[in-house]
Structure 1
Amino acid sequence: MTNLPPHFVEVLANRLAEYTGQDLRTLRATVRYAGDALAGRMADAMLEDVRRHVGDEHPEYLSARDRFVESVGPELRTVSPGVGTEVQRLQQARADADRVFALAVDVADPVGVAVEAPRALEAQRAARITVARGLIHGLPEGQTPTAERIGEWLADAGNDTQAFVRYAGTDLLRAAGDTNYEPRTSMRSGNETLRDGVARAWVRHRLPEIAAAVGHPLEPEDLDQLRYGNPGGIADGLVQAISARSGKSTDEVLDRLCEAGDRAAQRGADQWSTARQLLVPEEALQSVNEADRHLAGWRSVYAMEDEFKRHYGDSDWTPDLTPEEAGAAIAEAGVASAERFGATVPGPAPARRDPALDAAVNAAFVPPAGRTSGAGKQPGPGKTPADGQASEVAEDSAAGGRATRSGTTRPGQRRGPQLPGR
C-alpha cells in the first residue's frame, strides 16, 4: 500500500478529517506514508473519542479496534491505481476511498454510540436532525425550522417525549400559520379558520414522523396537548375529501394547502382557491362554456366559503355536522357548484390503503423499550389544558361531555360543538 493513488489519499484524508476533527495535513501524511499499518492508524484516529471516554484497556475499545483492522485492512489492499483515462482513474480512486471510509464508519460508529462517547453521540444527533429536517416540507416559504432550532428542541426536551412535542409542536404550528384565531365579532372568518385548521392538521400529520427520526417515537396521546379543535377537524375533513376526489395523497394535499396559507404574502383566500384547484382542476373546466370558465372556478370557491359559514360562521349557532363532516361538505359544495356550470369532475376514487405508509405510521407510534403506554405522562386535554384550550374544555364540561372522544376519532379530535377559534 505504498503507492496509493494521490486522489485516493486526498479523498480519504478529507473524510477522516471531517469525521475526527483532526488536522487534515497530519491525516494526509498518515494515509500517504503509513503503508501496511494504515488500517491501525485509521482505527486510532476514528476511535480516539472512544479511547478517551473509556480508556486504553476497555474491552469495548480493544474489541472495536481489532474488528476495525480486520475489516478495513483487506479493503485497503484491494486499492489499485486504476485503469483507463485520467478521469476514470480519478473516479475509481474516489469510489475506493468512499468505500473504505464507509466500512470504517460502520465499525466505529456503533461502538461510539454504545459507550456514549461524546463525538459519536453528537454525530448521531446531527445525522438525526438532518433526516428530520428533510421530512419537513410543505411549510410556507422561509418557515422551515433550521437545524439549530431542531437541536434546541432536543436539548430542551431531553428524554421527555411530551416536552419534545410541546417545543416542536408549538414551533411548527406557528411556522404552518396557526394563530389560534379569536374573532372579535359573532361571525367566524373562513380564511383564518381554514388557515389555523390546515396548520393544525399538517402538524398532527407530520410530527410523528419527525419525532421518530430524532429518537422520540410518539404514542397517540402525545399529540393531545396540541391545539386541534373545530379548525383542525374541518381541515381534516376537507383534506380527506380532496384526496378522495383527486387521487392525490393526504400528504400532498396538506402540503399544497399549507404552502398556500402564507400569511407573510397576505394571500388570505389562496387556500380556498388551492382547494378548488385540487377538487376541480382546470382540465375539469374545459367542458364549461369558455365564457363561463373563470366564473365557474370562482363560484366553486364561493360555494365552499358559503358552506363553511352555513355550519360554523355564527358562534351562537350550534352546528349540525361534526367538524370533519363539515369539511367534507365544504368540498362537495365546491364540486357541486362547478358541476352546475357543466364541469366534468370525477367522482371519489375507491379508498386505497398503502401498506408501506401503514407500516411507517405504526412504527412511529411504537413506544421505546421500557416505556408503557401512558406511564409518567401529564394529564391530557380536559384535565390540564394547554394554552388556547381552557375555554374549549370548560365548554365541553358544561355541555355534559358532548365532546367525549370516541373510538373513531383521531388523537385530539372532539366530536360535537366547540368554539371554532379554539
Structure 2
Amino acid sequence: MTTLPPHFVDVLSDRLAEYSGQDVLAIRPGVRSAGGALADRVADLMLDDVRRHVGDADPEYLSARRRLVQAVGPELQTVVSGTGTGVQQLQHARADAERVFALAVDVADPVALAAGAPRAVTAQRAARITVARGQLQGLREDRMPSAEQVGEWLDAVERDPAVLVERVGPALLRAAGDFGYEPRTSTRSDVQTLRDGVARAWVRQRLPDFAAALGRPMEPGDVEQLRYDFQGGIADGLVRSISERTGRSPDELLDRLCQAADPVMLPGDDQWVTARTLLVSAEALTAVDEDLRHRAGWEITWAMQDEFKRHYGNLDRPSELTLEEVGAAIAEAGATTAAGWGVQVTGPRDPGLDAAMNAATVPTTGRPSATAGHGHRSTARAVQSRGPQGSERG
C-alpha cells in the first residue's frame, strides 16, 4: 500500500474516534502505522462495541468484520495524494476519508443495531430524538420540549403507543399556546380563540410526523381525539385561505402563527397582527401614504377580527358558514379592506415578509383617530377590545 496522505489519516482517525468513543490521540498513531493492515484496524475499531457485547467468537460479529474488511480494503488502495494547490489536496484527502468511513458505517451500523450494542442503541436513540424535535420547530423557543422530555416520551411511547394521544398530544397543545379557552359569557374572545385554534390546528398537523419520528406512527382516528372544536376549524380555514392567496405553504403559516402566540396572554397580543402580516406585508403597505400607513395596517387587522366576531361573537347567533368558511371569510375581510387602501395581498416572493414578521412583534402606538378619512372600516363592532398597549377600540 502506498503511503496515505496525512490529512486522510487525520480525518479518518477523527471519524473512527467519534464512532468508537475512543480517544483520537490514542487511535491516530495506530491508524498511521497500520500500513497494509489498515482495513483490519478500521474493522476492529468500528466493531469493538459489538465484539465486547457479543464476544469474539460470535458468528455475526465475525461475518461483519470480514465484510467490513472486504468493503474498505479495495477503497484504501485507491487513495492517493491529490493534485493542485495545497487546499485542493486537503479537500481531496478529506473527501476520500469521508467516503471510506461512510462505506464502513454502511456495514457496521446494521450489525451493531441488530446486536443491541450499547453505543449503537444510544446513538440511534439520540438521532431519533433530534429528528423528532425537528418536527416541532414551529413552537416558540421558550416552549420547545427539551431533548430529555422527548426522550421520556420516546420511552413511554415504546411501552404504550396510547401515550401519544393521552400525554404527548395535550403537552404539545399547551406548548403551542392552547389554554383550553371555553367561553363563559355571551361573547367569544377573538384573541383567545385564535390562539387556541392555531395551537389545535398546528398539533393536528404536526403530531403524526412527530409520532413517526419517534418510531410509533399514529393509528387511524388517533388525531381525532385531540381537542379541536370550532377554534381549530377557523384557524385551519384562515391558514388555508392565506396560503391560497399568497402561495406560502400552510405548514409555514401555521408555524408563524404558532410562534406569535403570547403564552401568558399579555395585553397587545400580536397573533392577529401576524395573521394580517402574512396576508398583507409591511412592504405592501408602502403603497399607502406614509402618514396613513400605520392606520391602514390596523384597519386590515381589525377587519379580520370583526369578521370573526360577526360569526362567533354571540353564542345565541350561530354562524351559517362552516368553520373553514369562516376562516376564509376572515382572510377575505382583510384582503377587501387592504384593497380599499390600494394595497395588494402578500405574494409568494415578497422580500419584505421576514422583516415584517419581526416588526409585528414590536408593540405599536394606539389606534389612529376615527376621523381620518382614508380607507374604510367594517361596521360590525358588537364587541369592544383593546389594541396594543391598551388602546381602546370601538
Q: Determine if the alignment matches structure 1 residue 55 to structure 2 residue 77.
A: no
Deviation (angstroms), 1:150: 1.7
TM-score (normalised: structure 1): 0.75
Q: Decide whether the 8 Å contact of 1:197 with 1:231 is kept in 2.
A: yes
Q: Is the 8 A contact 2:278 2:346 kept in 1?
A: no
Partner of 1:335 in structure 2?
335
Task: For 2:140, give the aligned amino acid.
Answer: P
Q: Give aligned-pair identity as a percent.
A: 64
CA distance in 2, matches of 1:108, 1:281: 52
Q: Deviations over 1:369-406 (max 9, x none)?
A: xxxxxxxxxxxxxxxxxxxxxxxxxxxxxxxxxxxxxx
- 2: CA distance, partners of 1:25 / 1:342: 68
Q: Which residue of 1 aligns with 2:3?
A: 3
* CA shift for structure 1 position 65: 1.2
Residues 165, 120 of structure 1: CA spacing in aligned structure 2 closer, same or farther, 3 A cutoff? Answer: farther
For 1:20 and 1:188, locate their aligned partners in 2 and report how far apart those are by CA, in whole Å.
59
1:305 match? 305
Matched, 1:89 2:118: no
1:23-422 equivalences in 2 (<5 Å)? 23-263=23-263, 266=266, 268-282=268-282, 284-285=284-285, 288=288, 292-345=292-345
Deviations 1:246-269 (CA, angstroms, capped at 9, x unpaired):
121101211121122133694644
Superimposed CA distance per residue, residues 160-215 of structure 1 (whole angstroms, 9 cap, x where no aligned partner): 33313444323322222111124453322111110111111111112222222232
Write the distance in 1 (CA, Å) between the matches of 2:229 and 2:52: 52
Contact 1:2 1:33 in 2 (8 A): no
Would the aligned equivalents of 1:47 and 1:108 in 2 still touch at CA under 8 Å? yes
Quick one: distance in 1 between partners of 2:41 and 2:79? 17
The answer to whether the Cα contact below 8 Å between 2:135 and 2:210 also exists between their aligned partners in 1 is yes
Q: How many residues align?
A: 348
- Confirm or deny: 8 A CA contact 2:245 2:347 kept in the other structure: yes
1:71-108, Cα deviation, whole Å (9 max, x unpaired): 01111222223333333333222222211111111110
- Say whether the 8 Å CA contact 2:335–2:344 is kept in structure 1: no
For residue 18 of structure 2, what is the aligned residue in structure 1? 18
Shift of the 16–290 alpha-carbon distance from structure 1 to 2, 3 Å rule, reads closer
1:7-39: per-residue Cα shift (whole Å, max 9, x none)? 222222221111111233332222112222221
Q: Could you tell me which runs of 5 or more consecutive residues in structure 2 were left unpaired when the two chains were aligned.
A: 349-394
Question: 1:290 and 1:75, CA in 2 relative to 1: closer, same or farther beyond 3 A?
Answer: same
Cα contact 1:140–1:262 (8 A) shared by 2: no
Q: In structure 2, how many angstroms separate the alpha carbons of the residues matched to 1:201 and 1:222?
A: 14
CA RMSD of aligned residues (A): 2.6
Q: In 1, Cα distance between the equivalents of 2:330 and 2:315? A: 18
Contact 1:154 1:164 in 2 (8 A): no
Alignment deviations for residues 127-156 of structure 1 (CA, whole Å, 9 cap, x no partner): 222223333322223332232222121012
**Residue number in structure 1 paired with 2:377:** none
Aligned to 2:359: none
* Maintained 8 Å contact 1:125/1:214: no
How far apart are residue 332 of structure 1 and its match?
A: 1.5
Do the aligned partners of residues 264 and 93 (structure 1) sit closer, same or farther apart at CA in structure 2, a change above 3 Å counting? farther
Distance 1:345 1:16 in 2: 54
Indicate the residue corresponding to 1:417 in structure 2.
Answer: none
In the alignment, which residue of structure 1 is the partner of 2:351? none
The code of the aligned residue for 1:161 comes to P
For 1:328 and 1:216, how far apart are their aligned partners in 2?
Answer: 34
- Identify if the C-alpha distance between structure 1 residues 103 and 234 changes in structure 2 by more than 3 Å, giving closer, same or farther: same
Which has the higher mean CA deviation after the structures are superposed, 68-77 or 93-102? 93-102
Letter in 2 for 1:126: A
Once the two structures are TM-superposed, the CA of residue 326 in structure 1 deviates from its matched residue by 1.7
Instruction: Tell whether the 8 Å contact from 1:261 to 1:268 is kept in structure 2 after alignment.
Output: no
Shift of 1:48: 2.2
5+ unaligned residues in a row in structure 1: which ranges?
349-422
Structure 1 CA distance, aligned partners of 2:18 and 2:307?
Answer: 58
Aligned-partner residue type, residue 206 of structure 1: R
Specify which structure has the bigger relative contact order, considering alpha-carbon pairs within 8 angstroms and separated by 6 or more residues.
Answer: 1
1:164 match: secondary structure: helix
| 8 Å Cα contact 1:261/1:267 also seen in 2 | no
2 CA distance for matches of 1:344 and 1:101? 54
Letter in 2 for 1:242: I
How does the TM-score come out when normalised to structure 2? 0.80
**Matches of 2:346 and 2:201, distance apart in 1:** 25
The offset of 1:288, in angstroms, is 4.9
SS in 2 for 1:263: coil
